[in-house]
Amino acid sequence: MRALMSVTPGGPETLEMVEKETPKPGRGEVLIAIHAAGCNFPDTLIIKDLYQFKPERPFAPGGEVAGVIEAVGEGVDEARIGQRVAAAVGAFGGYASHAVCDANAAMPIPDEMSFEVAAGFIMTYGTSYYALKDRADLKSGEKLVVLGAAGGVGSAAVELGKAMGAHVTACVSSEDKAQFCKNLGADETVVYPRELDRDASKALAGAIKEKTGGGADVLYDPVGGPYCEPSLRAMAWEGRYLVVGFPAGIPKPPLNLTLLKSSQIMGVFWGAAVMRDPKGHASNMADIARMMKEGALNPRITATFPLEEGAKALEMLENREALGKIVLKVA
């Protein structure tokens, strides 16, 4: 099998294409011949040893794939061989021609769904739905604000928020990204600078309050860094602040802001939640599949690269240049 491997800690430039033995599925597992692999910001962290999990090297980054089941392990119905599936293979292992995963994690996909789309929705929509539904308990009519709204998880949060009946304000770093979010269905947009000084921070808080008519009931933050404090200042009474990621750095929020608004700061660790509550994850994915079938969700695959050029995909994510989802084409 072919795999794009992390052989030493570092940036995308450290990845190497290697040939290695194709793994065999164990009991309760399936072997997937991968046709497409989704790219996500955690992939840029795990190769630098900055993610929650630190796999033993060499390893292939990538946690979500789509392809065809090529072999099954003991206890798995052989009729599944040849089935088109999408799967979350874990924190790593997806940037390859083959991957093994638990049979229950391989979700059948319809013939009309492309492998690229199938590889681009499990982690982003799974993370965002878990955040909005299970952590924040987002209700119809509430005001949802999404930072980094043009990225993978951000754009998924915009679509899911609208599907759940919320009023959605998308916060982004350029007018092009704002238009992208309007096309996703965002009710309002806010364009913030890539670097925040004191005046810009105050302006961001004011813009969020203005667009929401007083403050955010739920704020989805996959950005972190200096964008945290102005966002906390723009929360509504008893608002819920969702901590999703930190590409702009890990913030140190002044907790007096949570007291003043009686607000909550909630962590969102989707990967751990999936392992702790697989039945809840399966139920969430069934909801997402239903919303996709109804047309409420439409994953935007805006860039594709061959597996050999996976480093370019990760560079786009690091530079916050991605709109929607980036996918690697493997087969």
Considering the domain architecture, whether residues 92 and 140 belong to the same structural domain is answered as no
281 in any annotated domain: no
**Domain shared by 97 and 51, yes or no:** yes
Q: Is 286 part of any domain?
A: no
Instruction: Report whether pLDDT(321) > 90.
Output: no
Distances (CA, A) of 314 to 15, 44, 321: 10, 6, 10
Write out the residue range of the structural domain in which residue 163 sits: 123-270
Residue 167 pLDDT > 80, yes or no?
yes
Rounded Cα distance, 160 and 35, in Å: 26
Does some domain include residue 164? yes
H or E, element range at 208: helix 198-212
Do 149 and 58 share a structural domain? no
pLDDT in tens, 173-231: 999 999 999 999 999 999 999 889 999 999 999 999 999 999 999 999 999 999 999 99
In a domain, 295, yes or no: no
Q: What pLDDT does 9 receive?
A: 96
What gap in Å lies between CA 41 and CA 51, rounded to an integer? 10
The reply to whether 35 falls in a domain is yes
pLDDT digits (tens, 9 = 90+) for 58-106: 999 999 999 999 999 999 999 999 999 999 998 899 999 999 999 999 9
Determine the average pLDDT of the residues in 44-65. 94
Based on the fold, state whether residues 129 and 115 are members of the same structural domain. Answer: no
Read off the pLDDT band of 154 (50, 70, 90).
Answer: very high
At residue 36, what are phi and psi to the nearest 5 degrees?
-150, 150
- Integer Cα distance of 315 and 13 in angstroms: 9
- CATH number reported for the structural domain that contains residue 95 in this entry: 3.90.180.10
Which of the listed residues 249, 270, 291 is the one where a domain comes to its end? 270
Same domain, 165 and 30: no
Residues 188 and 128 in one domain: yes
Residue 19: C-alpha distances to residues 22, 25, 26, 67, 147 (Å): 9, 18, 21, 19, 40
Retrieve residue 299's tokens. Answer: 């994953």
Residue 254 and residue 134 in one domain = yes
Indicate whether 96 and 146 sit together in one domain.
no
Residue 90 has a pLDDT of: 84
pLDDT of res. 195 = 86
pLDDT at 331 over 80: no
In this structure, the number of other CB atoms found within 10 A of the CB of residue 79 comes to 9
Supply the CATH number for residue 192's domain.
Answer: 3.40.50.720
Exposed/middle/buried for 198, CB within 10 Å: 0-12, 13-18, 19+? exposed
Question: What's the pLDDT score for residue 239?
Answer: 98
| Count: domains in the chain | 2
Instruction: Indicate if 257 and 134 belong to the same structural domain.
Output: yes
- 311 in the same domain as 198: no
Q: Are both 35 and 107 inside the same structural domain?
A: yes
pTM, two decimal places: 0.91
The answer to whether position 30 is within a domain reads yes
CA separation for the pair 73, 32 (Å, rounded): 12
**Shared-domain flag, residues 128 and 262:** yes
